[in-house]
Chains A and B, each alone.
Chain A
Amino acid sequence: QQPVQSPQAVILREGEDAVINCSSSKALYSVHWYRQKHGEAPVFLMILLKGGEQKGHDKISASFNEKKQQSSLYLTASQLSYSGTYFCGTERTSYDKVIFGPGTSLSVIP
């Protein structure tokens, strides 16, 4: 079952922050986050495995609330290079297929 993402689209000015949410109606083993630029393959951002886990690198971080089956991706002090479509992907078990959400289009403008 496809996870739900919100918002569908967001426009930011450079330096602003954004939060992208992902939720599932099923229990999850992991949540993946990817960014895809137009015409390119998705690029891995991070994977979260444990309930309440938080991860981050640079100014992009994410949290995973296992009990609520929700994950959020946090982008702080956005840069132009952050523009793209962000997908969350969920696994119900280890080594399982990753089911992707519908995506969130993020546009960062000067």
Chain B
Amino acid sequence: EVQLVESGGDLVQPGGSLRLSCAASGFSVSSYEMNWVRQAPGRGLEWVSYISSSGATKQYADSVKGRFTISRDNAKNSLYLQMNSLRAEDTAIYYCARLSTRGSDYWGQGTLVTVSS
């Protein structure tokens, strides 16, 4: 069974940093492209970042470029999102999602990031 479990969300002050993790099971992250998607309270879905199956290609939404870094650890079958210089507008539930030929076919349960003083 395919599962994605995010962790690492927390309350952090503006300007602070967090590292989100996404542990995969039931498939190998090295075989799939992966995305991070976020959802601010009461809002729609917003794509954040993408990493190719090889890890060679990484892309970011303009809103997080230069502040967030996506990475993966194939040995741990996990995906990560390093978030620096956090802003109030980064407050959201962050989901990792597997990208297949069908689309984003599996999502985790999400982890809440709150940026506030």
Are A and B a genuine interacting pair, yes or no?
A: no
Q: Which A residues have a C-beta under 8 Å from some C-beta of B?
A: none
Q: Which B residues have a C-beta under 8 Å from some C-beta of A? A: none
